[in-house]
């Protein structure tokens, strides 16, 4: 995969997605000397969770997070840890505000810890040792998935991820790509260098290469 293109895409994705995160605002009210009942419509203060570095099992992942010099889990919206020698994602579950994740060029074989990251919208996991994408099957926000150059033989679990807009799974061992017909939101696809051909019916408007 063209890594410069990937990084540019991640930057554009981050700026677009974070714009929405930064557009919110608070509310104000006149001071009162009387005690009143709590207003259920008043935004409640954010309960912040401190980062638990000791819960991150993989030393390389822990070092990558440490370099960010942040204290709270909600501060981590972009996790950029390519080519770090990461093998395990255990402990990443605490970062449930993370929107964009780049873990390409590592040694990751298990995505189970990512199942808890409901805010994740973009995942770059190319050039790892993946055989299974099932931990991503319940994600309701995932828009971009790049999982090229792995050991995937089946991507049927992605049928449930109807938010997917960009899917890159070239150079795997995928034997059946028929689920692509069900991904009506796709606008960009790469699935070349797999045993399976594209299905006869794919959503209109997709830019693809195979």
Note the pLDDT tens digit of each residue in 153-181: 999 999 999 999 999 999 999 999 999 98
pTM: 0.79
pLDDT reading at 197 higher than 70: yes
Residue 152 is assigned to a structural domain of this protein: yes
Residue 86 is assigned to a structural domain of this protein: yes
Structural domain of 203: 71-210
Residue 156 is assigned to a structural domain of this protein: yes
pLDDT reading at 3 higher than 80: no
With beta carbons less than 8 A apart as the criterion, state whether 113 and 134 touch. no
Number of structural domains (the chain) is 1
DSSP per-residue string spanning 141-197? S--EEE--SS-----GGGGG-TT--EEE--SS-----GGGGG-TT--EEE--SSSSP
Residue 161 is assigned to a structural domain of this protein: yes
Backbone angles phi, psi at 189, to 5 degrees: -145, 135
| Separation of alpha carbons 32 and 3, rounded Å | 57
Q: Any idea what the CATH number is for the domain that residue 182 is in?
A: 3.80.10.10
Cα 70 to Cα 23, 65, 77, 119, distances in angstroms: 22, 8, 11, 19
Q: Which residue has the tokens 């939101």?
A: 185
Residue 114 is assigned to a structural domain of this protein: yes
Residue 129 is assigned to a structural domain of this protein: yes
With beta carbons less than 8 A apart as the criterion, state whether 130 and 111 touch. yes
Residue 32 is assigned to a structural domain of this protein: no
pLDDT tens for each residue of 29-61: 333 333 345 455 666 666 899 999 999 999 999
3-14 average pLDDT score: 48
Structure confidence at residue 206 (pLDDT) = 79
Structure confidence at residue 41 (pLDDT) = 65
Report the sign of the C-alpha dihedral through residues 104, 107, 111, 114, in that order.
Answer: negative
Residue 139 structure tokens:
């994600």
Burial of 96 (0-12, 13-18, 19+ CB in 10 A): middle
Residue 88 is assigned to a structural domain of this protein: yes
Helix (H) or strand (E) holding 124, with range, is strand 122-124
């Amino acid at each position: 995969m063209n890594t410069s293109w990937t990084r540019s895409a991640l930057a554009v994705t981050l700026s677009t997605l974070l714009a929405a995160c930064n557009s919110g605002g608070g509310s104000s009210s006149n001071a009162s000397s009387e005690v009143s009942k709590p207003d259920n419509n008043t935004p409640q203060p954010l309960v912040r969770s401190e980062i638990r570095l000791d819960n991150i099992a993989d030393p390389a992942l822990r070092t990558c997070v440490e370099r960010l010099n942040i204290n709270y889990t909600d501060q981590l919206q972009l996790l950029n840890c390519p080519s770090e020698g990461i093998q395990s994602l255990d402990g990443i579950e605490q970062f449930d505000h993370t929107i964009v994740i780049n873990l390409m060029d590592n040694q990751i074989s298990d995505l189970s810890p990512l199942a808890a990251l409901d805010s994740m919208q973009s995942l770059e996991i190319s050039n790892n040792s993946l055989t299974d994408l099932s931990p991503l099957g319940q994600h309701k926000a995932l828009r971009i998935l790049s999982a090229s150059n792995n050991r995937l033989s089946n991507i049927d679990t992605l049928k449930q991820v109807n938010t997917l807009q960009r899917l890159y799974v070239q150079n795997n061992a995928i034997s059946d790509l028929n689920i692509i017909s069900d991904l009506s939101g796709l606008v960009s696809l790469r699935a070349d260098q797999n045993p399976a051909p594209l299905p006869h019916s794919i959503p209109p408007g997709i830019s693809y290469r195979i």
